[in-house]
Amino acid sequence: MWSLGCVIAELFLGWPLYPGSSEYDQIRFIVQTQGLPPTEMLEKAAKLHRFFKEMKADMSGPVQPTYYRMKTVEEYEASGVHVKSKETRKYIFSFLDDISRVSRTLNFLK
C-alpha cells in the first residue's frame, strides 16, 4: 500500500514525493511529513539503530520509558557513512493533506 501511494503521488505531482539521494534522506523526508513511526514499530525495524537514537524519558521511577528520535546528519555520519544530504524535494509538505494545495495551484495555472 505504501509503495502504491508513493507511486500515485509521483504520478499526480510529476515528481517523487520523497526524492532522497540516500536511505537517510528518504527516511528524513518521511519523518518530516508523517512524523515518527510508533515506538512498537521502530523496535521491530532491522535498521533501527542506523537511523534512530534511543532516548529515555526524563521521569522519576524505576521504569524509564524509551522513545526514539531521528539521528542528526552528524550522528549518522559518525557511524562511518558519509551523507551528501541536500534538499532535493520540489514540493515540501508538512502533512500529506498539503498535496491538495498543489492540486488547486496546478488547476489555477491551466
Kindly give the confidence (pLDDT) of every residue in the chain, 110 residues in length, as a single tens digit, with 9 standing for 90 and above: 888 988 988 888 888 888 888 899 899 999 998 899 999 999 999 999 999 999 887 766 666 678 899 999 999 999 888 887 677 778 778 877 888 777 655 554 44
- Read off the pTM: 0.74
Which residue do the cell numbers 493533506 mark?
Answer: 97
Tell me, what's the pLDDT at 108? 47
Tell me, what's the pLDDT at 38? 92
Q: Are 7 and 15 within 8 A, CB to CB?
A: no
Alpha-carbon torsion, ordered 55, 60, 65, 69, to 10 deg: -30
Alpha helices by DSSP H, listed for 35-72, are 39-42, 48-51
